[in-house]
Amino acid sequence: MNTTSSNSSELAERTRRIVGFQILASVIIAIGFLIGVGVAQGRSALYGGLVAVTLTALLSRGVKRAEASSARDPHKSMVILYVGAVQRFVLAIAAFALGLAVLKLEPMAVFIGFAAAQFSYLINARGNAPSKRGV
- Size (the chain), residues: 135
Statement: residue 39 has pLDDT above 60: yes
**28 assigned to some structural domain:** yes
Residue 51 belongs to domain spanning: 9-126
The C-alpha atoms of residue 88 and residue 64 are separated, in whole angstroms, by 15
Q: How confident is the model over 85-100, as a mean pLDDT?
A: 97
Task: Yes or no: say if 63 and 81 are a contact pair by the CB < 8 Å rule.
Answer: yes
Q: Is the residue at 107 inside a domain?
A: yes
Rounded CA separation 125/132 (Å): 15
Residue 56 main-chain phi, psi, to 5 deg: -65, -40
Q: What is the pLDDT of residue 54?
A: 96
Rounded to two decimals, the pTM is 0.85
Quick check: is 102 in a domain? Answer: yes
**134 within a domain of the structure (yes/no):** no
Of all residues in the chain, what percent carry a pLDDT higher than 70? 87
Domain presence at residue 133:
no
Q: How many domains does the chain have?
A: 1
Is 98 domain-assigned? yes
